[in-house]
Amino acid sequence: MAESAGEKKHDATPHRRQKAREQGQVARSQDLGSALVLLLAVGLLWWSGPKILNSIALIMKAGFTQDRYWDIDGVSAAGLVGSAFQECLWTLLPLMCGVCGIALVNNFFQVGFLFLPEKLNLDWKRIDPFKGAQRLVALPNVARLGFGLLKVGLVTLVIALGLWGRWDLILTAQSLSAWDVGGLVWSTTMDLCLRTAIVLLLLALLDYGFQWWKLEQDLKMTDEELREEMKMMNGDPQLVARRRAVQRQLMMNRIQSAVPDADVVITNPTELAIAVKFDVDTMAAPVVLAKGAGHVAARIRKLALQSGVPVVERKPLAQTLYKTVEIGETIPVEQYAAVAEVLRYVYQLQGKKLPTLAG
């Protein structure tokens, strides 16, 4: 029984999730960001690689021409370095911006905006060698080590298969020109990098799924934890029940004093009851003195019969007044005619002068 009480079988509440998030406990895969960065970098290099090579060739050509070599001085050297730096910057800017952008986007979509300045504080427990050794042999770290070895093995296999598929071209490279050899090296490198990035991305997605599942398991709550959180959020159940009992008693006391002063009680006939009063000298329109459903409606009808207040059944009117008018409010203009008809009927039964509703 005690073991069952300590079992985490309840999903985390929004408050528990928010508290865990504020402590930095979120589902996040570092491998997913690395894989996306690698995949984008390969794509950008494939697209901008020829332009980068061309820029490098122009810089080298400009730097090693005979005129520049013999006539160089401090000013021309500074200009040469500045132009080379500018050319490199504009060439590599799309690649750098793309890599930085995908890293930020990946982190945002995994975690959202999360700023935890307390994580910057020095924690001496993190540099305790004894606790560090314990963390090394902890099950999550051992599992991560195994997953890392699996990645290394799969990446090695992918590279080996990629080289095997191009082995015939590699063997004939000695008969190719330098330009063709460069093209072969470039295409082979990009192909292997692309294959590696795709494999790492698939593994990273699996890792993110595992991290999400593990977080959900860690955040699950036992019966005791759920009770304690409900107490913290809503208060002690005994106090809540007592507060509700007091509220019910206050409502009954208000009904006890209001119903005998009503002109009519409009019913549904058994589910709803609305006590209405209209004083032509002091009120601009009829006022709802009390209303209720279920046992409260039964109490209103009983008080009305004991006090000699007429009880009239009008189902649509009772439903409308119960939904749209609060206690102490006047009835809406669109219900004047229906309420006036009920009051006319009641006043005729009692031999009173008929009231007139304004509007």
Same domain, 307 and 274: yes
Q: How far apart are CA 300 and CA 58, in angstroms?
A: 95
203 and 58, same domain (yes or no): yes
131 in the same domain as 246: no
Last residue of some domain: 192, 220, 248? Answer: 220
Instruction: Specify whether 167 is located in the same domain as 245.
Output: no
> In CATH, what number is assigned to the domain containing residue 305?
3.40.1690.10
Residues 197 and 253 in one domain: no
Residue 319 lies in a domain: yes
In this prediction, residue 127 carries a pLDDT of 62
Are 141 and 206 contained in the same domain?
yes
Cα 343 to Cα 338: distance, rounded to the nearest angstrom: 9
Residues 214 and 250 in one domain: no
d(CA 278, CA 289): 10
What whole-number distance in Å separates Cα of residue 191 and Cα of residue 158? Answer: 11
| Cα three-residue angle 63-69-75, rounded to 5 degrees | 80
Q: How far is the C-alpha of 238 from the C-alpha of 246, rounded, in Å?
A: 12
213 and 251 belong to one structural domain? no
| In a domain? residue 18 | no
Specify the pairing of strand 311-313 against strand 264-267: parallel
| pLDDT at residue 1, as a whole number | 38
Inside any domain, residue 142: yes
| Residue at 116 is within a domain | yes
Structural domains of the chain, count: 2
Give the pairing type, strands 287-293 and 272-277. antiparallel
Contact 42, 190 (CB under 8 A): yes
Residue 59: enclosing H or E segment and its boundaries?
helix 30-63
The residue from 163, 187, 220 where one domain ends is 220
One domain for residues 215 and 300: no
Average pLDDT over residues 135-160: 76
Question: What does the block give as tokens for 21?
Answer: 């998030």
- Residue 273 has a pLDDT of 92
The string of pLDDT tens digits covering residues 178-233 is: 777 777 787 888 888 888 888 888 888 888 888 888 878 878 887 777 777 776 66
Band of pLDDT at residue 265, cut at 50, 70 and 90: very high
Same domain, 190 and 99: yes
166 plus 207 within the same structural domain: yes
pLDDT band at 65 (very low <50, low <70, confident <90, very high): low
202 & 78 share domain: yes
Judge whether 227 lies within some domain: no
What share of the chain in percent tops pLDDT 90?
A: 4
**Residue in this structure with the two tokens 């132009």, named with its chain if needed:** 83
Distances (CA, A) of 248 to 217, 307, 329: 41, 22, 20
Mean pLDDT, residues 300-307 taken together = 90
Q: 204 in a domain, yes or no?
A: yes
- 191, 220, 249 — which closes off a domain? 220
According to the model, what pLDDT value does residue 274 have? 92
Kindly state whether residue 358 falls inside one of the protein's structural domains: no
Closest CA to 266 of 258, 275, 257: 275
pLDDT at position 272 is: 92
Give the domain extent around 179.
25-220
Question: Is residue 19 included in any domain, yes or no?
Answer: no
pLDDT of residue 115 exceeding 60: no
Range 75-90 average pLDDT: 69
- Where do the DSSP E strands lie in 15-64? none
Lowest-confidence segment of 36-40, 119-123, 169-173, 233-237 by average pLDDT: 119-123
pTM equals 0.47
Q: Which two tokens stand for residue 38?
A: 């690698």
pLDDT digit string, tens, across residues 28-54: 677 777 777 788 878 877 777 777 777
pLDDT of residue 23: 67
